[in-house]
Amino acid sequence: MYQPRTLQDGPELQRRAGNIKAVLFDWDGVFNDGWKGLDGGSPFSEVGSMGVNMLRFALWLRNGSNPPAAVLTGQVNPLAEKFVQRERFNAIYMGYINKPDAFTDFLGAHALKPDEVAFFFDDAIDLPVARRCGLRVLIGRRGGERFTEHVVARGDADIVTACSGGENGLREGTEAVISLLGNFADVFDQRAAYSETYQRYLRDRNATVPAVGNGAR
**Per-residue pLDDT tens for 141-182?**
888 889 999 999 999 999 999 999 889 999 999 999 999 999
Contact between 104 and 120 under an 8 Å Cβ cutoff? The reply is no
- Look at strands 5-6 and 159-160 and give their pairing: antiparallel
pLDDT value of position 202: 97
Task: Please indicate, yes or no, if residue 29 is contained in any of the structural domains.
Answer: yes
Task: Please indicate, yes or no, if residue 131 is contained in any of the structural domains.
Answer: yes
- Give the distance between the most distant pair of CA atoms in the chain: 47
Task: Please indicate, yes or no, if residue 212 is contained in any of the structural domains.
Answer: no
- Model confidence at 41: pLDDT above 70: no
Give residue 213's pLDDT band: very low, low, confident or very high (50, 70, 90). confident
> Could you tell me which of 21, 204, 33 has the C-alpha nearest to residue 119?
21
CATH code: domain of residue 57:
3.40.50.1000
> Could you tell me which of 129, 128, 172 has the C-alpha nearest to residue 22?
129
160: containing domain:
5-206
Task: Please indicate, yes or no, if residue 215 is contained in any of the structural domains.
Answer: no
What pLDDT, in 10s, does the model give residues 94-109? 988 899 999 999 999 9
β-partners of residue 121 are: 138
Task: Please indicate, yes or no, if residue 211 is contained in any of the structural domains.
Answer: no
Task: Please indicate, yes or no, if residue 213 is contained in any of the structural domains.
Answer: no
Extract the runs of DSSP E, i.e. beta strands, from 85-124: 91-94, 117-121
pLDDT value of position 144: 81
- Distance between CA 217 and CA 203 in Å, rounded? 33
- What's CA 36's distance to the chain center, in Å? 20
Task: Please indicate, yes or no, if residue 159 is contained in any of the structural domains.
Answer: yes
Using DSSP, state whether 84 is helix, strand or coil: helix
Considering its fold, how many domains does the chain have in total? 1
